[in-house]
Amino acid sequence: MPKVIGLTGGIASGKSTVSELLSVHGFKIVDADIASRKAVEKGSKGLDQVRATFGDEAIGEDGNMNRSYVGDLVFNHPEKRLELNEIVHPIVREIMEKEKEAYLEDGYNVIMDIPLLYENDLQDTVDEVWLVYTSESIQIDRLMQRNDISMEDAKARVYSQISIDKKRRMADHVIDNRDSKIELKQNLEQLLVDEGYIENATDHSQEV
């Protein structure tokens, strides 16, 4: 029986890397970030709602959402974040549900790649939760390097989410990403072996 697995983590924890590795092993990925972009893509009803709520400044010259403007707005004004979520979340859920059901019908195990799974209380919508774990200090360091931002800004983004250590206590399985990518790959493959998804670390097929 195919499973629905919620994959989550904290910002800059390495979840995208794990998602890519899981796709190599035959899992089908339903990505919340991709669905969020589709929800407000050029010409969509979602984008029309964004314009109506946040004004013409929320739309760039190319007709796409001005992500920089909207991002700054919702990050600094929690009430605006709620307004954006009310527009985007129902559309995202519909997109992801359709993708998930299509993959399950074809017999695949499905990874629901949801960065804010716990923040949005979605843990009960999946069979189990896998958390990509790293320490908060590593999150901050990686975020500073990746986004070229100050420590203060990096901390603000990390602390805007539920702490990675609290998520670790809530998850069904933890994938350790405090070291190198090679060790991350080994940690993930050990989990796949332990859970019966692959027979050994060199097996890139999936039994369904």
pLDDT, average across residues 75-102: 93
Binding-site annotation, residues for ATP: 12-17
Q: Tens digit of pLDDT for each residue in 162-199? A: 999 999 999 999 999 999 999 999 999 999 999 999 88
For tokens 């979605």, what's the residue?
122
Residues in the chain: 208
Mean of per-residue pLDDT scores for the chain: 93
Question: What are the residue ranges spanned by the domains of the chain?
Answer: 1-27+108-208, 39-98
> DSSP secondary-structure letter at 95?
H
Q: How many helices (H) and strands (E) does the chain have?
A: 9, 5
How many CB atoms neighbour CB 107 within 10 A?
11
Q: What's the pLDDT score for residue 74?
A: 87
Model confidence at 201, pLDDT cuts 50, 70, 90, reads low
Model confidence at 75, pLDDT cuts 50, 70, 90, reads confident
31 and 19 Cβ atoms separated by less than 8 Å: yes
CATH 3.40.50.300 fits 1-27+108-208, yes or no: yes
Binding-site annotation, residues: 12-17
pLDDT exceeds cutoff 50 at 150:
yes
Model confidence at 205, pLDDT cuts 50, 70, 90, reads very low
pLDDT, average across residues 66-77: 88
